[in-house]
């Protein structure tokens, strides 16, 4: 399996993702420049990653300009053919802006940038400690979309406390229904606000992110 990490002007977690995938998880990783278009080296068994950061300075809206980059046109085609695409933080915002995932990421409810460890729980009731670092991470969608996500099992992660309880205090940004990550209906495109690549190394004292990446991206299909 091969990974491609897209680099936009303003990306600041691209090297973190590269390091986690290559050195902590032992994967074949290539950096992809935003002005390029060529994804011919990748098959639908591979994965393209949109890292965190502030693509194009977050002008207009977070991810709004990156959505129109040459590489994103190829990524959209790749995803529509069944290729895996994984967006973290700003990458999640870009996926929503591009229409590959439903909903939007709005300014945090407290109007402040948040940077700390949080807890998230998956559909298998496993709890992970993962860092967040964002100012616009509040997931929002209309009620119909939210209900469809719930019914289809597309909500992959929710913010919780260390005991797995969904509380207001455990929600770092005011995200609707504590949603921290979702997948598309076909389960080949996935976005999340927390940064699993920052929790992959023994040196950092937290490897919960390694399990998330292994489960979501290295299985033949995203979990559901």
12-62 pLDDT, tens digit per residue, is 999 999 999 999 999 999 999 999 999 999 999 999 999 999 999 998 889
222 pLDDT band (50/70/90 cuts)? Answer: very low
pLDDT at residue 221 tops 60: no
Fold category of 2-217 in CATH: Rossmann fold (3.40.50)
Residue 196 pLDDT more than 70? yes
pLDDT at position 219, please? Answer: 64
- C-alpha 146: how far from its chain's center? 18
Please identify which residue in the block is written with the tokens 């390091």.
19
What is residue 28's predicted lDDT score, i.e. its pLDDT?
96
Distances (CA, A) of 1 to 30, 110, 115, 146: 12, 40, 32, 32
Which carries the bigger pLDDT value, residue 208 or residue 60? 208
220: pLDDT confidence band, cut at 50, 70 and 90? very low
As a whole-number percent, the residues of the chain with pLDDT over 70 amount to: 97
pLDDT band (50, 70, 90) for residue 216: confident
Which residues, in sequence order, are CB contacts of 80 under 8 Å at separation 6+?
Answer: none
Q: Is the dihedral of CA 72, 147, 122, 203 positive or negative?
A: positive
- Tokens 């053919």 sit on residue: 81
Instruction: Kindly tell me if the per-residue pLDDT of 85 is higher than 60.
Output: yes
Taking the C-alpha atoms of residue 58 and residue 139, their distance in angstroms, rounded to an integer, is 17
Sequence ranges of the domains in the chain = 2-217
- Mean predicted confidence (pLDDT) in 176-190: 97
- Per annotation, catalytic residue among 89, 96, 160, 200: 89
Confidence band (pLDDT; 50, 70, 90) for 194?
very high
Average pLDDT, the chain: 95
**Options 96, 97, 134, 197, the catalytic residue:** 197
Q: Return the DSSP state at 21.
A: I
Contact yes or no for 66/97 (Cβ under 8 A): yes
pLDDT tens column, 124-180: 999 999 999 999 999 999 999 999 999 999 999 999 999 999 999 999 999 999 999
| Residue 126 annotated as catalytic | no
41 CB burial (10 A radius; 0-12, 13-18, 19+): exposed
Based on the residue annotation, tell me whether 97 is a catalytic residue of this protein: no
- Which DSSP helix (H) or strand (E) runs through 22? none
Report the alpha-carbon angle 132-134-137, nearest 5. Answer: 95
Query: Which position among 47, 96, 97, 195 bears the catalytic label?
Result: 195
Contacts of 193 (CB under 8 A, 6+ apart): 88, 89, 92, 105, 132, 134, 137, 139, 173, 175, 180, 181
Instruction: Please indicate whether residue 134 is annotated as part of the active site.
Output: no
């Amino acid at each position: 399996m091969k990974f491609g990490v897209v680099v936009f002007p303003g990306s600041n977690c691209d090297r973190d993702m590269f390091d986690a995938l290559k050195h902590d998880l032992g994967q074949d990783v290539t950096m992809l420049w935003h002005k390029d278009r060529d994804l011919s080296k990748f098959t639908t068994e591979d994965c393209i990653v949109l890292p965190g950061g502030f693509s194009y300075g977050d002008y207009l809206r977070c991810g709004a300009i990156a959505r129109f980059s040459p590489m994103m046109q190829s990524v959209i085609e790749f995803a529509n053919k069944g290729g895996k695409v994984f967006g973290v933080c700003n990458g999640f915002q870009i996926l929503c802006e591009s229409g590959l995932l439903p909903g939007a990421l709005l300014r945090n409810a407290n109007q402040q940038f948040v940077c700390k460890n949080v807890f998230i729980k998956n559909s298998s009731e496993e709890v992970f400690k993962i860092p967040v670092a964002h100012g616009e991470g509040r997931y929002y969608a209309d009620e119909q979309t939210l209900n469809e996500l719930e019914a289809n099992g597309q909500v992959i992660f929710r913010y919780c406390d260390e005991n797995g309880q969904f509380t207001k205090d455990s929600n770092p940004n005011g995200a609707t229904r504590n949603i921290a990550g979702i997948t598309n209906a076909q389960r080949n495109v996935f976005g999340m606000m927390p940064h699993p690549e920052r929790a992959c190394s023994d040196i950092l004292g937290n490897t919960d992110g390694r399990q998330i990446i292994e489960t979501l991206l290295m299985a033949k299909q995203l979990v559901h």
